[in-house]
Amino acid sequence: MANRAARWVSIFFDSSFLSLPIFLLIGWRERGASGLAWAAIALLIVTGIPLIYMILGRRIGGVSDFELSRRGERPRFIAVSICSDLLALVLLIFLGGPHLLRVMALTYLCLGIAMLMISSFWKISLHMAGFSGFATALTFVFGPAALIAFLGLPVLAWARWHRRKHTVAQLIAGALVGGSITFLVFGWIGKWV
């Protein structure tokens, strides 16, 4: 029972899954229906391209599982993610996409760079970084009521620890890095995008 719960928490709290409602909410918040269209475009790039890489990697080799359990597989995946984040950011800037979606794409890019650097020598929790980043972004966009999203962090940490995917230090570091970078981008750097 606990194993199954931990597995489903890991799936539903993954950045690829969470990005769908969060990007759509942020797009809607800024521009209504047209914001939803922009969010869909951004999602196809920042989430779609890395997912295609993982699916193809599973079929032809190079990716052992969708959780990238082997640390050595992470740098290639993160590099693909960084390229897709950069592409999304450039398109959103030059085509006049919503400001908040540009900030999200920049956040993804900055998080990707940080995760690439750290993952080259240590298996930091990408799940915790992504979830903490999303919770921070939601708080910036929707205000203090969105702080409730942070209550999911201990649940996710338990799931990843229970499944023996990460140590406590890797989980804490992921949450701190994800939240800190998102805070810096939304609170400071994102103002110039």
- Cα–Cα distance for residue pair 30/40, rounded to 1 Å: 14
On whether the CB atoms of residues 91 and 46 are closer than 8 A, the answer is: no
Mean pLDDT of 47-67: 83
- Cα–Cα distance for residue pair 138/144, rounded to 1 Å: 9
On whether the CB atoms of residues 8 and 2 are closer than 8 A, the answer is: no
Please give the helix or strand (H or E) that residue 9 lies within, else none.
helix 2-12
Beta-carbon contacts of 176 under 8 Å, excluding residues fewer than 6 positions away, are 132
Average confidence score pLDDT of the chain: 92
pLDDT of residue 58 exceeding 90, the answer is no
Q: What is the pTM of this model?
A: 0.90
Integer CA distances (angstroms), 3 to 111, 128, 152, 155, in order: 29, 18, 18, 13
Residue 102 tokens, joined: 């540009």
Mean pLDDT of 84-106: 96
**What pLDDT, in 10s, does the model give residues 122-164?**
999 999 999 999 999 999 999 999 999 999 999 999 999 999 9
- In 3D, which of 10, 42, 49 has the Cα closest to residue 23? 42
